[in-house]
Amino acid sequence: MLLIFLLFVSQMVQQPLIRFHENPVVAHRGAWKKNNLPENSIASLREAIRLRCTGSEFDIRMTNDEVLIVNHDPEFHGMPIEKTNYSQLAAIRLSNGETLPTLENYLLEGMKENPGTRLVLEIKPSPAGVEKGRKIAKRVVEMIQNLHAEPWVTYISFDLEILRAVLALDPQAATQYLNGERSPGELKQDGISGLDYHFSVFNKNPGWVVEAKKSQLALNVWTVNSAEDLERFVSQSFDFITTNEPELLFDILKAKP
Ligand code: MG
């Protein structure tokens, strides 16, 4: 009996259940715009957590010396990230004085004093091709596991092979596909747990909203910024709406009857 209890407790310690905020607001590259913060900075992540967004999105790439970093573009101040060592990249500060964040620092910040904002982690396809993308995915999952960050993370990618590599290492991982050409039924068969498509895809395939809900796939949309578009996706009860305007989306949700 004692043994069962101890096993139960150790399970709880390993996998703390997190109650994510009950709203659909995902801050795209963190909440940066209103306060003029750099995108993908730790400051923008902290602001998304402060706003109580249900998610804060960020982009991952790997440097030449295999440091995982948070940056959208394949270059940083003209330097190709995959061909440059981290120390060279980190010599140039972000506009708010922050050092270019490593994934490790980002995750540690994201798990600190965070009452319910999930970490929406985009693994960028590698300019070097699919095989390198898989390698990066493996490194990312290893880091998540080492830091016990699994319960916080939703993985997103434009590359299905990257999501497959994530699932091979962590079959329980929450995954959402970004590229927009696969139907909810196809994604379900792929073992992907959600779709996160550009809003134009849902305009063209309105039936996919219903199909995704029926298939119990998480429904996410990017990047929705105008009040009119935000209202439309709120009215369709999307699980997640990824936006550069989290404050505006909260205002719209508050005004809802
Ligand atoms: Mg992204």
Q: Residue 130's domain spans which residues?
A: 21-255
- 4 within domain boundaries: no
Each residue's pLDDT tens digit, 164-209 = 999 999 999 999 999 999 999 999 999 999 999 999 999 999 999 9
Residue 74 Cα to ligand 1 midpoint, Å, equals 12
Each residue's pLDDT tens digit, 205-241 = 999 999 999 999 999 999 999 999 999 999 999 999 9
- 6 within domain boundaries: no
Considering its fold, how many domains does the chain have in total?
1
- 15 within domain boundaries: no
Residue 228 Cα to ligand 1 midpoint, Å, equals 22
**Buried (b) or exposed (e) across 67-80, using 16+ Cβ within 10 A?**
bbbbbeeeebeebe
Residue 116 Cα to ligand 1 midpoint, Å, equals 20
Which CATH number does the domain housing residue 174 bear?
3.20.20.190
For residues 148-153, give the mean pLDDT: 98
- 3 within domain boundaries: no
Q: Which residues contact 93 (CB under 8 A, 6 or more apart)?
A: 99, 100
Q: Give the span between the Cα atoms of 91 and 99, in whole angstroms.
A: 8
The reported pTM is 0.94
Residue 238 Cα to ligand 1 midpoint, Å, equals 18
Residue 171 Cα to ligand 1 midpoint, Å, equals 22
The strand pairing partners of 120, in sequence order, are: 57, 154
Q: Using H for helix, E for strand and C for coil, what is the string for 119-184?
A: EEEEECCCCCCHHHHHHHHHHHHHHHHHCCCHHHEEEEECCHHHHHHHHHHCCCCEEEECCCCCCH
- 235 within domain boundaries: yes
- 208 within domain boundaries: yes
Tell me, what's the pLDDT at 256?
87
Give which of 202, 251, 192 is closest to 223, Cα–Cα: 202
Is there a contact between 31 and 38 (Cβ–Cβ < 8 Å)?
Answer: no
Tell me, what's the pLDDT at 4?
64
Q: Length of the chain, please?
A: 257
Tell me, what's the pLDDT at 257?
76
Q: How confident is the model at residue 5 (pLDDT cuts 50, 70, 90)?
A: low
For residues 122-150, give the mean pLDDT: 98
- 5 within domain boundaries: no
Q: Supply the mean pLDDT for the chain.
A: 95
Residue 57 Cα to ligand 1 midpoint, Å, equals 6
Q: Amino acid identity, residue 3?
A: L
- 154 within domain boundaries: yes
Tell me, what's the pLDDT at 17?
81
Residue 58 Cα to ligand 1 midpoint, Å, equals 6
Question: 3-state class of 76 per DSSP?
Answer: strand
Each residue's pLDDT tens digit, 57-113 = 999 999 999 999 999 999 999 999 999 999 999 999 999 999 999 999 999 999 999
Residue 66 Cα to ligand 1 midpoint, Å, equals 20
Q: Give the span between the Cα atoms of 75 and 89, in whole angstroms.
A: 10
